[in-house]
Amino acid sequence: MELSIRHTKKLKWTFRMASCSLGLLIFLLFVNEFRNYIGFAKGYAPHNFAFNIGFFLPSTFLSMALGIATIGRTIKHWNSWSNLKKKWIFIGLSLPGIIFWVYIFIK
């Protein structure tokens, strides 16, 4: 069954959202690990607070929001998109951002 152009565009957009969710989370965790090289001293409370509130938390929240949007969109179009492998790839790419926030809340 051939997908319409509209569904193909939705698939591409959903893949971009899922990739951005995972890519942003990996980038943020990398920056967090090496933040002392960009001027935020590890262990110094005002620097940690400013870094977390101003950069890290909003960006990880964006990653989680993209992940939730991707999963919601995938579930919404579950029956109209025929490729099961792509659907699970979308969910797999977007889960790390959500799992990170779940881990933060539990911890």
Over residues 63-90, the pLDDT tens digits come to 999 999 999 999 999 998 888 899 999 9
101 contact partners, CB below 8 Å, separation of at least 6? 60, 61, 64
- Give the global pTM: 0.86
How many other C-beta atoms lie within 10 A of the C-beta of residue 74?
21
Confidence of residue 26 (pLDDT cuts 50, 70, 90): very high
Angle, in degrees to the nearest 10, between helices 57-76 and 84-106? 140
